[in-house]
Structure 1
Amino acid sequence: MNGHSEISKMQSDAMSSSVLYPKLDRKQLLITGSKGLMLIAEDGTRIIDATGGAAVACLGHNNDQVKEAIIKQLEQITYCYSQFFTTPPLEKLTQHLTESTNGEMSKVFVVSSGTEAVEAALKMARQYFTELPQPQYQRHRIIARRQSYHGNTLGSLAVGSHKARRALYEPMLNTQISHVSPCYPYREKIKGESDFDYVERLAQELEDEFQRVGPDTVCAFIAETVCGGTLGCVPPVSGYFKAMREVCDRHGALLILDEVMTGMGRTGTYHAWEQEGVIPDLQTIAKCLGGGYAPIGALLVNRRVVDILNQGTKVYSHSQTYQGHALACATALEVQNIIKNENLVANVAALGPYLGQLLQKELGDHPNIGDIRGRGLFWGIEFVQDKSTKEPFPVQKQLAGNIHLAGTRKPYCISLLPGNGTADGKNGDHIILAPPYTVTKQELEEIVRRAKMVIFDVLKSID
């Protein structure tokens, strides 16, 4: 089938389907099976899922132990309303999570997605200040970062800064949120500037923003511990979060760390913040909590925040129908038990640098690859038109999207996670690699081989 007839068939199939696809005139590739690293299409094509979807499938696909845990829970209780009741899997999962922080994050609110966890964090930040012995009702602002992503509901979209996703809904978004620069050394560190001076400059920018909006009006500063989908796996410069913590503490604001994409071992420690020398006041997690086997996310709450609520109303003024869903909690608990029992975080820490070395060796010299960065099994490749000027590709080229689309087809048969707006919120492209924690060296080599092949071929075809 030639390209034109293939597109026509996709459009026809999309029109006949009841699914509201991301692009209404393009039917998605039908996946009918999976195992480990592989997704299996309806025609039998085996596609390497090099990103676990959106950095989700941390154990790979179709894990027998997780399936057994799901079946066992189905025979007991799948759902009861968590406003009225609790269940063993909810109790066990939340205990596991608090213990993973040595009790620093003493309470957990379990929801169904990362976006919902962020919404819960924003509400908790506001409520905290109304519960103080001397309430600070004027605290209603959030400071976030540009080129960040925190979810797609109106609240989480407002604290995020993905221009394309915000654009249509801008008139509806909360105007009490402002944004400062991300920690993005590839593009924003000044030539000759040391890491220390760069961190000092970003800390001063955050301080200036507190002063601009009024320090006593700010509830919290929110940031992704390692930048995810919008910037493409950018780790913070050493000392960055300690400096941000100091600014927040100076003004009594909370620090919210969004680890929806990077928590639960993805960066080589169970919590990404363990590598930064800080403990957040509020933390969001999701993707590798359930590993794709159940829709689940959570808000972890620092004990000092919990203590204030305990001294006040003793009520969290927020709820959701599926909070603490028993089947989702049992599923996530089994995923976390496997991660722990099979020592998979250590595997991430060991193989992460190897993946980085492979990417640098095989792709680093290409004239259109500007930066390769990451941590653990979370790596991004940023594309440029010119290596010396770092000029990004214009959004009209849809470079990252085209790399993903081409990759799912023969001869490549690899799924890569595309991102755009990398450079300035509109222009620029990157792709993300986020293989499962169970990956081997040999599998990483095959992932990089296929990724290199499709990336180079698509770059070669650009006008």
Structure 2
Amino acid sequence: MSHVFPRHSKLNPPTAVAGEGCYLIDSSGKRYLDGSGGAAVSCLGHGDAEVTAAIKAQLDKLAFAHTGFFTSEPAEALADLLIANAPGDLDRVYFVSGGSEATEAAIKLARQYWVEKGEPQRGRLIARKQSYHGNTIGALSAGGNEWRRAQFAPLLLDVSHIDPCYEYRLRQDGESAEDYGLRAANALEEELLRVGPDTVMAFMAEPVVGATAGALAAAPGYFKRIREICDKYGVLLILDEVMCGMGRTGTLFACEQDGVAPDIACIAKGLGAGYQPIGAMLCTSEIYDTIADGTGFFQHGHTYIGHPVAAAGGLAVVTAILNRGLLPRVQEQGDKLHQRLVDRFGQHPHIGDLRGRGLFRGIEIVENRETKAPFDPSRGVAGKIKKAAFAAGLVCYPMSGTIDGRQGDHILLAPPFIINDDQLDELTDKVEQAISAVI
């Protein structure tokens, strides 16, 4: 009998014993194509010799030194590399152990920034419906997925949520993509005026929404207008790239493709590629200097922030992404994957939308393609597809609640950047096999 507290007590998952490239192998020898990188984590695949060597070498030198007393060489080097490739005025890196910690730190930094600026009335956060920013109380408060929030509602912070930029569902007939993007962004200004702009500290959003909406990218011009609104009212822009960043969409930072830069950015998942738990919050020099010239102390912290071994792993991962030509490869293989999905599902009666960027792709499943009506939630379509895909030897990321946290189903695909053409065929075949088995 296991004493592990699992994600779901009714499931009895197989034991993973090995990883090899794009595959995971269980204790029976069965191989699974990792079509979602776990949860968009394993961007380099499994068993990367350079990354594991870097981690082992760091362990031989120094395993741990608390950041209350020391910095470390790999943390300094990784911060330098990230800032050298970061957009806009991002200038400082605060290392954490994962995505929820990164977004939690971002929210707290935004608050402390305004306190130290002499505007303590700014304590409100605005985010979007159908977003996901993590599972700590602050991060869950920022997230806009009602199913994830429901049972914890009494514990959550008061955060405003505007509609997502969801072109497939919310763009009106006769409205251009650009006009819709502008209209969707203007919802932020409307909410700012409703609550009082001088009470708002920040707006938080995912450049490409991951788990809750299935690789949902913004309409053209949306984020440029968001940036204008934030600047107009002095509101900080926090971009959560925990899932969509670190090359997943074809650029190191996803926001590069929208032509904007945040005041605070959050990264994780692909930063460590699964080899070590690591995340980071990046902020501009203006934000950092405000703290440095004030109290000098960011009132936050965890024991394992800036962990030397995690930083060494992250440094090896980001170096590999940049030096192995993986960013253009993500774009190339992402285009190939999209074309395969279009060829296979473009006219499928139960596929409503195929979307995403790079190797971050979403398939929205519907009962009626013409009306876009979703399947009844009681049918549990996403969960059944996940089970059928797993039986076929594919790890993918189906989720329910795509539309409003209750209705709608999608499949999220986020394979390793090293995936080859034959494996793209295998991925597409097994997705089709799973969908056919369920619907």
TM-score by length of 1: 0.93
What's the CA shift for 1:207?
Answer: 1.0
1:277 corresponds to 2:264? no
1:125 touches 1:254 (CA, 8 Å); kept in 2?
A: yes
Contact 1:21–1:28 (CA under 8 A) maintained in structure 2 = no
Selected match of 1:144 from 98, 104, 127: 127
Is 1:446 paired with 2:426? yes
Quote the residue 1:436 is aligned against: 416
Find the counterpart in structure 1 of residue 395 from structure 2. 415
Instruction: Give secondary structure in 2 for the equivalent of 1:80.
Output: coil
In structure 1, distance between residues paired with 2:405 and 2:386: 20
Unaligned runs of 5+ in 2: none
| 1:361-402 Cα deviation digits (max 9, x unpaired) | 011211111111010000000100101111111222111111
Does 2:317 align with 1:332? no
CA distance in 1, matches of 2:377, 2:5: 24
Aligned to 1:339, what secondary structure does the other structure show?
A: helix
More displaced 10-residue stretch of structure 1: 345-354 or 323-332: 345-354
| Contact 2:103/2:133 (<8 A) preserved | yes
Matched residues, number: 439
Q: Residue type matched to 1:185 in 2?
A: E
Q: Partner of 1:106: helix, strand, or coil?
A: strand
**Mapping 1:342-421, distance limit 5 Å:** 342-409=324-391, 412-421=392-401
User: What is the DSSP-based 3-state SS (H/G/I as helix, E as strand, rest coil) of the residue aligned with 1:221?
Assistant: strand
For residues 103 and 329 of structure 1, the distance between their equivalents in structure 2, rounded to whole angstroms, comes to: 23
Instruction: Quote how far apart the aligned CAs of 1:235 are.
Output: 1.0
Give the TM-score taking structure 2 as reference length: 0.98
Deviation at 1:443, TM superposition (A): 1.6
* Structure 1 counterpart SS, 2:208: coil
Residue identity opposite 2:238 in structure 1: I
Q: Structure 1 stretch 97-106 or stretch 145-154: which is displaced more?
A: 97-106
1:71-90 Cα shifts (integer Å, max 9, x gaps): 11111111111111011011
User: Is 2:69 aligned against 1:84?
Assistant: yes
Q: 1:426 aligns with which of 390, 406, 420?
A: 406
Deviating more after overlay: 309-318 vs 217-226? 309-318
1:174 equivalent to 2:154? Answer no
* SS across alignment from 2:9: coil
Q: Is 1:153 matched up with 2:133?
A: no
Q: Write the letter of the residue equivalent to 1:88.
A: E
Distance 1:368 1:50 in 2: 21
Q: Letter of the 1:240 partner, please give it.
A: Y
* Sequence identity percentage: 46
Match of 1:319 among 270, 293, 301: 301
What is the Cα-based RMSD across aligned positions, in Å?
A: 1.1
Superimposed CA distance per residue, residues 8-31 of structure 1 (whole angstroms, 9 cap, x where no aligned partner):
xxxxxxxx3212122212211221
Equivalent in the alignment of 1:289: 271
Other-structure match for 1:6: none
Which amino acid in the other structure matches residue 203 of structure 2? F
Between 1:285-294 and 1:25-34, the stretch displaced more is 25-34
Cross-structure match for 2:108: 123
1:103 Cα deviation (Å)? 7.2
- What is the deviation of 1:307? 2.7
Question: Would the aligned equivalents of 2:22 and 2:418 in 1 still touch at CA under 8 Å?
Answer: no
Name the CA distance, whole Å, in 2 between partners of 1:449 and 1:54. 20
How many angstroms does 1:102 deviate by? 6.1
CA distance in 2, matches of 1:346, 1:183: 26
AA partner of residue 221 (structure 2): G
Unmatched tracts of structure 1, length 5 or more: 1-15
Q: Match of 1:68, as an amino acid?
A: A
Q: Secondary structure at the match of 1:168?
A: helix
Aligned pairs for 1:224-303 (under 5 A) are 224-303=206-285
